[in-house]
Chain A
Amino acid sequence: MAHLLQYVLNGLANGSMYALVALGIVVIYRGTNHLNFAQGEMALLATAGAWWINDKGVPLAAAILLAAAIAFIGGGVIEFGLIRPAGRKSPFAVVVVTIGLFQGLNSFTSLLFPKVGNGVKFGTLFPNKPADFFRLPGGAIWRYERIGVLVTVLVITGLLFALFQKTKVGLAMRMVANNPESAKLAGVPTNRILMMSWGLSAAIGAIGGALIGGINANINVSTMFGVFLLASAAATLGGLDSPLGAVVGGLSLGVIESLVSNYPKNWVASTYIGADTAIAVAFLIILVVLLVRPSGLFGSSRVERV
């Protein structure tokens, strides 16, 4: 039992980071129906920025917030300058632009911050000395840092829900996501709202990237690569247009990954299942879920216009 609890706790910490990046993906998908392949690399650039600001002597928390603010503006600029004009060409064009951004931003990060190209140490916001943990009944340990990450992600998720449900901007975002034409007729400046969606998504990504950097104690140009894949898988599992789905999907993906990579070795001395194949099993589970629910767990299946 202690093992089970331990694996779940570890999984929740990783899963919460997938959830945060997945939220970024969902915020954009809801607004524009586009999968942003550059989500991870946008977060990488912002995290590298946070490292740089921190390196100049600004406290880490402030550096991360500042980087998130800059990312907010950057996300808006990308939407305004690239995505929207590309959208006028064709939906395909947007896909190409985000894939181009994926490649461009990754190398841009190492051009702008050459040190990040080779990997740099990244600080953490939470106490992470060897003795910083709770011992839960049964013997499982819960490190403060993991608790901190989980709580941060849950708080951000809560704030995001409050934004969507309680504020006018959030209402406008839901309107644009659901029916852009009607939103326009109701007087919503849809373009500005889409810009804000991209900005919001980039800012969320920046915070997610910083948390990941903190847990890994390091960032480099390939940090976001795997995280983006897992986060997009999480978003798909939950349903690409559902923020709740992103969180549930992220957390469950983290837990599945942790359980699969640790458990079977206790049952069977399998040479084929282990830490590195856990992802494969996780993806298989997602595939099965998608076959049963093609729009994910919480996604709304839209009727296609013919």
Chain B
Amino acid sequence: MTTTMQSTSAGAPKAWPRPIPDSSPLHWVFRVIGVAVIAAIAIYIGLNATPSTLGNVTEACILAIAAVALNLLLGFNGQISIGHSTFVGLAAFAAGYTVNFWHWNAYWSLVLGIVLCFLLGFALGLPALRLKGPYLALVTLAVAFVWPTVAKKFLEQKVKKNSLKGTHLSPPTWTGLVSKGKDARLDKAIFLYWCGIILLLVAYVVVRNLRKSRIGRSLVAVRDNETAAAVMGVNLKFTKTITFGISAAIAGTAGWLSAARLDVFNDTSFTILNSIKYLLALFLGGAATLLGPIVGAFAYFFLDDYLRSHAPHWTWLPGQLSKGPIASFLLGAIVIAFVFIAPFGLVGFVKDQARRVFIVTPRPLRPALTPSALDDERPEESKGE
């Protein structure tokens, strides 16, 4: 009641939602503030957090990178993949094996992982040229299902053990994170944390630039209407296979980071359940938005973490409930509830709310295209009078 009274008495009719022209100074102010806040949080965590918190955030970054990769494929190109856990696993195995057995430099193993994932992704993109929707989903599902058996054979035949050691990536000397003894764990955690943040940033920038480029427009065109896109001159084969390859390569960096973080991993570390986690994180944040997968991954990770550590102690739950996998059940229920509360994810939800306050109006394509461009120099003031 009071709020409505105030807004009417304030006497600012039609001031809200307030239009903000794209790339206007005000828009830039908002952007800069946004980036600054996120950067400040990232730096604060990097300087102050405990090793276990840093580890958690790094783990969330891994999830976020995988979700960003999936978003490029599913959100922007409309090709569903339930096989992204395979790419993550492949890159992790490549890193773990080359570092431990061939004594490679860990950074070269990242390059190898990216190349391998790109090639496998590209190869998977080939059936995608003929298969659609659920048929494609099932092929990627099959890949995710086959990966653990391949990984197991690999461990048996090549590693001769039932697990593979991590890459034990240690901070280079120039970072100054070279303490011995007690602080070594913290230093390593800080270093991996920054690796996670930087790789996530790189993944974001790659996808963002792709999306905003000509290729990005053809991705979306293919998603929305394949036939129409082909008729307009989009090379379907190229677009679909390359997108699959790039998406897989990005997922590969998540795998490399996993290999650096984990002490040991094996054939059961990267299963379909991981792929499902990537999908859920993506949907939670909002598919087909640039920030969605990142927001979703962090939300998913910390929600999962919170439920797992707290739900078993909820004594107010009736009977045996708190003893079972209540966290996992609640997570499923929350995801379903989200479909109805925020069908376009957290980012979509926030955008919808923000749209009541500010609307970013697009820049005119080219001034020459609008004959009245000269008159539009001060449109708002003249209309106001």
Chain A interface residues toward B at CB < 8 A: 29, 34-35, 82, 85-86, 89-90, 92-93, 95-97, 99-108, 110-111, 114, 117, 229, 232-233, 236, 240, 271-272, 276-277, 279-280, 283, 286-287, 290-291, 294-296, 304, 306
Contacts and interface: CB of A to CB of B under 8 A. Distances in A.
A229 B324 contact: no
Contacts of B332: 100-105, 107
8 contacts: A92-B287, A96-B335, A106-B328, A110-B324, A110-B325, A114-B324, A229-B272, A279-B146
Nearest to B137: A35
Contacts of A277: 149-150, 153
Nearest to B157: A271
A280 B148 CA distance: 10
A103 B328 contact: yes
B153 A272 contact: yes
Nearest to B134: A35
Given A96-B336, A111-B321, 8 more contacts: A100-B280, A103-B280, A104-B328, A232-B141, A272-B157, A294-B132, A295-B135, A306-B225
A294 B134 CA distance: 11
Contacts of B139: 287, 290
Contacts of A103: 276, 280, 328-329, 331-332, 335
A114 B336 contact: no
Interface of B: 80, 127, 130-132, 134-135, 137-139, 141-143, 145-146, 149-150, 152-153, 157, 225-228, 272, 276, 279-280, 283, 287, 320-321, 323-326, 328-329, 331-333, 335-336, 338-340, 343
A267 B336 CA distance: 51
A290 B329 contact: no
B357 to A, nearest CB: 24
Interface centre among B138, B279, B329, B340 (most CB of A within 10 A): B138
Nearest to B283: A96
A99 B276 contact: yes
A271 B157 CA distance: 8
Given A35-B137, A103-B335, A114-B323, A85 B340 contact: yes
Contacts of A276: 149, 152-153
A290 B280 contact: no
A117 B325 contact: yes
Given A97-B336, A283-B145, A89 B324 contact: no
Contacts of A295: 135
A280 B146 contact: yes
A294 B135 contact: yes
B325 A229 contact: no
A9 to B, nearest CB: 25
A99 B335 contact: yes
Contact of B142 (A29, A233, A240): A233
B321 A229 contact: no
Contact of B343 (A90, A229, A233, A279): A90
Contact of B333 (A104, A236, A240): A104
Nearest to B147: A280
A98 B152 CA distance: 30
A114 B320 contact: yes
Residue with the highest number of chain A CB atoms closer than 10 Å, among B132, B225, B336: B336
Nearest to B146: A280
A306 B339 CA distance: 27
Contacts of A236: 134-135, 138
